[in-house]
Amino acid sequence: ARSDIDHFSYQDTKYECQRRTPLNHHNKKFTEAFEILEKHASYIDREHGESRALAFRKASCALKSYPREITRIDEISKITHVGEHSLRVITDILENGYSEEVQDIISCEMFHVIELFTGIYGCGPSTAHKWYSLGHRTTQDIKDNAEILNLNVQQKYGVEFYDDLNAPVDMPDALRIQRLVVEQLDLIQPSCSAEIVGGFGRGKQCGHDIDILISHPEEDKVEGLLVKLVNRLTTLGCMLHTALSVGKNVVRKETFVKTKATQTRSTMDNLDRCFAIMKVEKSATDNDSCNSWIARRVDLIITPSSQYAFSLLGWIGSKQFNRSLRLYAWKEMKIHLNSHGMWDHKLTPPKRILATDEEEIFKALHLDFVERKDRNC
């Protein structure tokens, strides 16, 4: 039925994990519009927002995979995930050079304020709405009313270091943090590995934070490692703020024990982790202020070697790639997949499937391997 689009070598798959989504693609003018529509849907329309946001995200992912610039609407009118609404937006852009719906959003004050507030570390859309409805419009407003608004610790740091934390992190910064972490790990537990994951792992040149996955070839050598590492970094004066989550890793040999935390959010896992704000030395070229350091968001995640491949896959991302992978695994293969492992639920009791690298996970799921640089959906 979809043979009419085959000759463009676009794979019209049901799941994003079944095709390649490169970082650099040919349809930015459309995907940028979809990103605004997606945000608007999740910020403003809180009743149907999530499903509308997902529809725009899926359309955007499809266009990112499309191997050339779209110039005619009939090229893509039959693509799964590009629904009626999305087609209308693309048509507008093709015909007028812009989408009126997107223009309306961009000229809406509320959208910009919610965007500004959700850029504050620790502030989600519902808090942003609350602050907006109380009449606040700037980060200074939030700072001035910190007491009355009863800001939590994260939000206080978020406001305090707003500019630093919203300045993109580049690769040299990421490497600097990695070096620091490796140095400290060597002093605590030799032979640890510390890999940069997240967006940088997918080839992005900048990001909003630095994600580092830490492990050790010997399974039990990572026990208690995170607290020791964070204590050392704190003593060195590198930590501005830390939020630790330790000791909830409850994977047993055969089955995955679901705790409350695992059930609440699908992307959340129970690995020992520290969400931190760190002081990072500025490079010689950053001479725009007298400060010698800049505040950066850093995620440190610890995983035992038996779970490494799964944690790596999960934390390389993107979020949407993993969502689709997990959904595919469950719907098509009855396999439960997360950052700890995978379990075959076609068997009773479910049987754990082991893997030592990402390739083995794709193979077990009967999927073609997707390179990290092509997981940018």
By CB under 6 A, name the binding residues for ligand 8DG. Answer: 198-199, 204, 207-209, 211, 267-269, 314-315, 317-319, 322, 339
Binding partner of residue 317 among Mn ion, ligand 8DG, none, CB under 5 to 8 Å per kind? Answer: ligand 8DG
| Residue 171 or 227 with smaller CB distance to ligand 8DG | 171
Binding partner of residue 289 among ligand 8DG, Mn ion, none, CB cut-off 5 to 8 Å per kind: none
- The residues near 105 (Cβ < 8 Å, ≥ 6 apart) are 36, 37, 40, 111
> 319 touches which of ligand 8DG, Mn ion, none (CB within 5 to 8 A by kind)?
ligand 8DG
* CB of 79 or CB of 316, closer to Mn ion: 316
Task: Give the phi and the psi of residue 332 in degrees, each rounded to 5.
Answer: -95, -25
Specify whether the CB–CB gap between 59 and 81 falls below 8 A. yes
Catalytic member of 12, 164, 173, 211: 211
Report the distance separating Cα 348 and Cα 53, nearest Å: 37
Stretch of residues binding Mn ion (CB under 5 A), selected from 51-59, 72-80, 115-123, 193-201? 193-201
Active-site annotation holds for 144: no
User: What is the sign of the dihedral through the CA atoms of 14, 15, 18 and 19?
Assistant: positive
Shortest reach from residue 207's CB to Mn ion, in Å? 5
How many Å is the Cα radius of gyration of the chain? 22
Least distance from ligand 8DG to the Cβ atom of residue 169, Å: 8
Q: Choose the one of ligand 8DG, Mn ion, none that binds residue 267, judging by a C-beta under 5 to 8 angstroms depending on kind.
A: ligand 8DG
16 vs 211 by CB, closer to Mn ion: 211
How far apart are the C-alpha atoms of 369 and 58, rounded to whole Å? Answer: 21
Q: Measured from the CB atom, is 197 or 238 closer to ligand 8DG?
A: 197
Task: Please say whether the dihedral angle defined by the alpha carbons of residues 150, 154, 158 and 161, taken in this order, is positive or negative.
Answer: positive
Closest CB to ligand 8DG among 62 and 271?
Answer: 271
Q: Is 186 in the active site?
A: no
Q: At what angle do helices 125-133 and 109-118 cross, to 10 degrees?
A: 130
Specify whether the CB–CB gap between 10 and 68 falls below 8 A. no
Q: How far apart are CB 210 and ligand 8DG at their closest, in Å? A: 8
Nearest distance, CB of residue 233 and Mn ion, angstroms: 17
211 is catalytic: yes
Binding part of the chain for Mn ion, among 70-78, 146-154, 249-257, 291-299 by CB under 5 A, reads 291-299
In the set 209, 269, 272, 374, the catalytic residue is: 209
Q: Where are the beta strands (DSSP E) in the chain?
A: 169-170, 193-197, 206-207, 210-215, 239-245, 272-281, 293-302, 335-337, 342-344, 351-353
| Degrees to nearest 5, angle at CA 148 with 295 and 163 | 20
Contact call for residues 290 and 251 (beta carbons, < 8 A): no
Instruction: List, by residue number, the catalytic residues.
Output: 209, 211, 299
